[in-house]
Amino acid sequence: MTTAHSAAGTGPGQPADRLRAEQVSLGYAAADVITELSLRIPDDRFTVIVGPNACGKSTLLRALARLLPARGGSILLDGKDIHSLPAKQVARVLGLLPQTSTAPEGIRVRELVARGRYPYQRLWSSWTDADEAAVAEAMAATEITELADRLVEELSGGQRQRVWIALVLAQQTPLVLLDEPTTFLDVGHQYALLNLCRDLQRRHGRTVVAVLHDLNQACRYADHLVVMDAGRIVAEGAPATVITPELVERTFELPCRVVPDPVTGSPMVVPELK
Amino acid sequence: MTVLPKPLAPHQPSSRSAHVRTRLVVTVLLVLAALVAIYLLGSGDVQVSPGNAIRAVFGAGDPADVLAVQQWRLPRVLSALLVGAMLGVAGAIFQSLTRNPLGSPDIIGFNTGAYTGALVVLLVTGSSAPLGVTAGALLGGLGTAVAVYLLAYRQGVQGFRLIIVGIALSAMLTAANSWLILKAELPQAIGAAQWGAGSLNDATWGSTLGVCVAAAVLLAPCLWATRPLRQLELGDDLAAALGLRVEPARRALLVLGVLLTAVSAASYGPIAFVALAAPQLARRLTSASGAGLGAAAAMGALVLLASDGLAQRLVTGGTLPAGVVTVCVGGLYLVWLLFREARRT
């Protein structure tokens, strides 16, 4: 798997990497969380963002998804400032699953997934066969077709997370952003979900960006790994070239060794004894 | 074994079958409301048979029947249906925006504010001209809404803050209202208290036409409102990521809900608990998730019409305000709701 991102999949004259941050500054209220950060999200790859708590990774993801205005610089989607594009148009290109989402009380799985079709609906338009097909396809890809008529609140955490991913898939966007999708899942469901994310990229041709907490999971699944610390990108590239004991110690204050993962050969972080 | 109409479809698309059930509930509610309406049009000091009552609505039949039905009863029935529908929709909008069954306009102070506005006109200026009272109530309701919104605002408005601020402001306004009434002369105070309960006793064609115009203007945008409301239920971030412009949409929905409430209160006084109970009752019948504005409207119309009918018949002489009955109905519902929530936790 090569990580040097090529221009494959982009037309002539169109710049590679549909989603980019250029010199972007972000923050809430008084404080800037991120200053002058630049990042290119490689097309047709699985990009993982890691970093210690409060390093600004969720802030960056929200900004990439147009949820947060930039205080300086800009987020570019297909070369245009993302805030200059209409909200619904962006939502047909780029989908985001936030860290926590609340399902309305009494909603059934299929109905919740169907809400992902909002960007395609107009004031007077009714539910179309294309909408129906997109919802069915999203549920099939996340293996929740059997749950279609169940109440969302009755599902297990792992099943529920699949429903949320299906909602984002029903949006049919070439770019999918996931904010800590594995939080609250047991380890088995975490890997099931990461396999699903990889499938989205490999089999369904989506560009996937996820914020993850677990370094070893990040190294195993990422084509492109972005390490953030204190609002800055401290390293990015293929996990094998990025992850070193020095970097992990500096960023996470965790003395460790890095050994090859016995299953995949990707770097594996093993903490030292204190 | 179930027989599927189409063997090819393993599941009915639930987005459609849910619509079928909602439509069925709305239809049943509207038929019930129509039956109650026909009964109310026909009964009273001048008894008219249901058939003759329907004919009299269109001006046909015995002139005495036509007079009783068209001039005395029809404005009141129409007003109850339309105000009930507006209150139901307003309640559904607010409960959905605040994600809380208690987040309805009668709980968060808009009705109390409308009452304050009316009291100021009735007692301080001493005028009891309906137009002045209506204007006072409208201003009071809108002013309260703006105050609640501004006090609850902190980088957008969050549901729970809105409810807490609304309840607090409502308590203060209630105190102000009591003070205004205690200060007044007895006859004026009685009239003011009567208005404050919310009554359709004074429904005339004049006030009813105003309600008709307001309902036409305000209920039409509700056809637009359902989709943004549903998306907002997913949380602000996801709603925005799905292409909804969250703050403008929420502000438009708030304005719509406030106007519906203020117009209702200005027309016939602050009729309580319809906005609270109707959307919840409708939701339980449709077993749909989230805001069903159509079902809430139909339920609100039925509840207010039936309450007003009861109010007219419980006390002979017909001076019992409909608002007293809706408070009883809504109170029972609230007790049940609290009981259920308490058992669940």
What CATH number did the domain enclosing B103 receive? 1.10.3470.10
Is the pLDDT at B5 greater than 70? The verdict is no
Q: What pLDDT is stored for residue A61 in this prediction?
A: 95
Distance from CA of A49 to the nearest CA of B (A): 19
Using pLDDT thresholds of 50, 70 and 90, give the confidence band for residue B332: confident
Q: Which of A105, A149, A167 is closest, CB to CB, to B14?
A: A149
> Among B301, B309, B304, which residue's Cα sits nearest to residue B326?
B304
User: In A, which residues are within 8 Å of B295 by CB distance?
Assistant: none
> Looking at beta carbons, which residues of chain A come within 8 Å of B290?
104-107
- Tell me the C-alpha distance between B298 and B206, whole Å: 24
pLDDT at B290: 64
Query: How far is it, in rounded angstroms, from Cα A214 to Cα A211?
Result: 10
Asked if residue B304 has pLDDT above 50, the reply is yes
In this predicted model, which residue has the larger pLDDT, A176 or B334? A176
Q: How far apart are CA A4 and CA A6, in angstroms?
A: 6
Determine, yes or no, domain membership for B135.
Answer: yes
Please, which pLDDT band fits residue A113 given cuts at 50, 70 and 90?
Answer: very high
Question: Residue range A125-143: average pLDDT?
Answer: 90
Question: Residue A228 above 70 pLDDT?
Answer: yes
Average pLDDT of the residues in B329-334: 80
Res. B12 pLDDT band, cuts 50 70 90:
very low
Strand partners, A70: none
Look at residue A15 in the predicted model and tell me its pLDDT. Answer: 54
Of the partner residues B11, B230, B241, the one whose CB lies closest to the CB of residue A91: B241
pLDDT attached to residue A4: 42
Name the residue among B11, B16, B230 with its Cβ closest to that of A115.
B230
pLDDT of residue B7: 34
| Region B152-170 average pLDDT | 85
Cβ pair B288:A106 closer than 8 A: yes
Residue A234: pLDDT band with limits 50, 70, 90: very high
Asked if pLDDT for residue B171 goes beyond 80, the answer is yes
pLDDT above 70: percentage of residues in chain B: 92
What integer pLDDT is reported at residue B196 of this predicted model?
87
The mean per-residue pLDDT over the stretch B108-114 comes to 88
Q: Which of B16, B224, B234 sits opposite A115 (nearest CB)?
A: B234
pLDDT at B92: 94
**Which token pair is A158?**
């792992």
Are A96 and B244 within 8 A, CB to CB?
no
Kindly give, in sequence order, each residue whose CB lies less than 8 Å from that of residue B256, ignoring residues fewer than 6 positions away: B93, B218, B221, B222, B225
Top-confidence range, B1-5, B132-136, B291-295: B132-136
Neighboring chain B residues of A87 at a CB cutoff of 8 Å: 240, 243-245
Residues of A in contact with B99 (CB under 8 A): 102
Q: Report chain A residues whose CB lies below 8 A from the CB of B234.
A: 101-104, 115
What's the pLDDT score for residue A11? 44
The lowest-confidence range among A4-18, A162-176, B293-307 is: A4-18
B119 domain-assigned? yes
- For the stretch A68-104, pLDDT in tens is 999 999 999 999 999 999 999 999 999 999 988 888 8
Write down the mean pLDDT value for chain B. 86
Containing domain of residue B99, as a range?
24-344
- In this prediction, residue B126 carries a pLDDT of 76
B15 — pLDDT class (breaks 50, 70, 90):
low
Q: Which residues of A touch B242 (CB under 8 A)?
A: 91, 95, 115-116, 118-119, 171
Q: Are the CB atoms for A64 and A228 separated by under 8 Å?
A: no
Residue B13 lies in a domain: no
Has residue B18 been placed in a domain? no
CA distance B158 to chain A (A): 14
> Which of B11, B224, B244 lies at the smallest CB-CB distance from A148?
B11
Q: What is the mean pLDDT of residues A11-37?
A: 81
Distance, in Å, from the CA atom of A210 to the CA atom of A201, rounded to the nearest integer, reads: 12
- Cα separation, A139 vs A128, whole angstroms: 17
- Our CA-based measurement puts residue B234 at a distance from the nearest CA of chain A, in whole angstroms, of 6
Gap between the Cα atoms of B189 and B296, Å rounded: 34
pTM, two decimals, is: 0.85
Torsion of CA A32, A34, A37, A40, to 10 degrees: -130
Please tell me the predicted confidence (pLDDT) of residue B330: 78
Q: Where is pLDDT greater, at A207 or B312?
A: A207
Query: How close, in Å, is residue A227 to chain B by CA atoms?
Result: 24
Asked whether residue B19 is assigned to any structural domain, the reply reads no
**pLDDT-derived band of residue A252, with 50, 70 and 90 as boundaries?**
very high
Helix (H, G, I), strand (E, B) or coil at A266: coil
> Which token pair is B12?
């009915």
What is the token pair recorded at B149? 């919104």
Are A111 and B15 a contacting pair at CB < 8 A? yes
Q: What are phi and psi of B5, to 5 degrees?
A: -65, -40
The answer to whether position B141 is within a domain reads yes
Nearest to B15 among A67, A110, A119 (CB): A110
Of A11-25, A112-126, B126-140, B231-245, which gets the smallest average pLDDT?
Answer: A11-25
Give the contacts of B203 (CB within 8 A, at least 6 positions apart): B75, B76, B79, B80, B268
B243/A110 touch (CB, cutoff 8 Å), yes or no: no
> Residue B247 pLDDT more than 90?
no
Total domain count, chain B: 1
Which 3 state secondary structure label does DSSP give B47?
A: coil
B64 assigned to some structural domain: yes
pLDDT of residue A270: 95
Structure tokens at A50: 């890691």
Backbone torsion region of residue A79, taken as left when φ is above 0, otherwise alpha when ψ lies between -120 and 50, otherwise beta: left
B146 and B166 Cβ atoms separated by less than 8 Å = no
- CB of A115 closer than 8 Å to CB of B231: yes
For A164-206, write each residue's pLDDT tens digit. Answer: 999 999 999 999 999 999 988 889 989 999 999 999 999 888 9
Q: What is the mean pLDDT of residues B130-155?
A: 88
**CA nearest to A76, candidates A155, A2, A141, A23:** A23
* Residue A198 · residue A9 · CB < 8 Å: no
The closest CB to that of B11, out of A95, A149, A171, belongs to A149
Shortest Cα distance from B230 to chain A (angstroms)?
A: 8
pLDDT at A44: 93
Q: Is residue B4 predicted with pLDDT exceeding 80? A: no
Hey, what are B321's tokens? 């305000």
At residue B9, does pLDDT exceed 50? Answer: no
Task: Assign B341 a pLDDT band (cuts: 50, 70, 90).
Answer: low
Confidence of residue A10 (pLDDT cuts 50, 70, 90): very low
Across the interface, do B15 and A127 touch by the CB < 8 Å criterion? yes
- pLDDT for residue B18: 60
Smallest Cβ–Cβ distance between A114 and the set B15, B283, B288 belongs to B15
- The ipTM, to two decimals, is 0.88
**Domains with residue ranges and CATH for chain A:** 19-271 (3.40.50.300)
The pLDDT of residue B345 is: 57
> SS3 breakdown of chain B: % helix, strand, coil, rounded to 5?
75, 0, 25
Mean pLDDT of A144-173: 93
Closest Cα in chain B, distance from residue A118 (Å): 6
Which chain B residues touch A96 with a CB distance below 8 Å?
237-238, 241
Asked if A110 and B11 come within 8 Å (Cβ–Cβ), the reply is: yes
CA-to-CA distance for B292 and B299, rounded, in angstroms? 11
Letter string b/e over residues A244-261, b meaning 16 or more CB atoms within 10 A of that residue's CB: ebebbeebbeeebebeee
**pLDDT on residue A208:** 96
Q: Which residues of B are less than 8 Å from A209 in CB distance? A: none
In one-letter notation, the amino acid at residue A212 is: L
Best B15, B222, B232 residue to mutate vs chain A (most A CBs within 10 Å): B15
Say what the pLDDT of residue A16 is. 73
